[in-house]
């Protein structure tokens, strides 16, 4: 839209975009919980696209010749308030998602380490004193 588009239209579009962002962040939380890496990437792209649209629209609103109405028109004031509260919820959800993503990453890292550590345990043998010893040569010197 151009800066001469009605201010009400720009503000309503902004509210719709912010609500869409909130919905995407809620989807992201579910995708993180399910650890679907491909879906996480797709959601991240969708989220970034919405953020870019919100920033562009915000710039158009800030340059709009009637932007002073944002402080005087009751309907616009209510829309701006709704946008701000939704954005606040988005920020909180994004932080929560970030923490969950870090925890999931750490969990996967720990699991990978466990697999690496346990990889050699299949070759464990015990000597006559009951002490464990790992030998990769177990069974390689058998001639049958």
On whether residue 138 sits in a domain, the answer given is no
On whether residue 107 sits in a domain, the answer given is yes
Q: Answer yes or no: is pLDDT of 101 > 70.
A: yes
On whether residue 51 sits in a domain, the answer given is yes
On whether residue 124 sits in a domain, the answer given is no
On whether residue 122 sits in a domain, the answer given is no
Distance CA 95, CA 111 (A): 24
Angle among Cα 119, 124, 130 to the nearest 5 degrees reads: 150
On whether residue 126 sits in a domain, the answer given is no
Domain enclosing residue 85, as ranges: 7-117
pTM strictly above 0.95: no
**What CATH number does the domain containing 12 carry?**
1.20.58
Question: Domain total for the chain?
Answer: 1
Distance CA 56, CA 73 (A): 23
On whether residue 39 sits in a domain, the answer given is yes
* Model pLDDT, residue 1: 46
On whether residue 139 sits in a domain, the answer given is no
* Model pLDDT, residue 111: 75
Distance CA 68, CA 80 (A): 13
Which spans in the chain are helix H? 7-34, 37-63, 74-118
| pLDDT tens profile 108-139 | 777 777 776 676 555 556 667 666 565 555 55
| pLDDT tens profile 16-60 | 999 999 999 999 999 988 888 789 889 999 999 999 999 999 999
């Amino acid at each position: 839209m151009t800066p001469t588009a009605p201010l009400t239209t720009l503000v309503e579009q902004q509210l719709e975009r912010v609500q869409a962002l909130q919905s995407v962040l809620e989807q992201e939380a579910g995708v993180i919980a399910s650890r679907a890496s491909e879906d996480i990437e797709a959601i991240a792209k969708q989220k970034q696209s919405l953020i870019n649209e919100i920033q562009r629209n915000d710039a158009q609103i800030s340059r709009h010749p009637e932007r002073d109405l944002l402080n005087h028109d009751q309907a616009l004031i209510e829309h701006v308030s709704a946008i701000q509260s939704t954005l606040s919820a988005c920020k909180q959800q994004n932080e929560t998602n970030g923490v969950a993503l870090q925890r999931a990453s750490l969990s996967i890292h720990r699991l990978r380490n466990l697999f690496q550590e346990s990889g050699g345990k299949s070759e464990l043998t015990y000597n006559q004193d009951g002490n464990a010893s790992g030998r990769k040569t177990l069974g390689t010197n058998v001639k049958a």
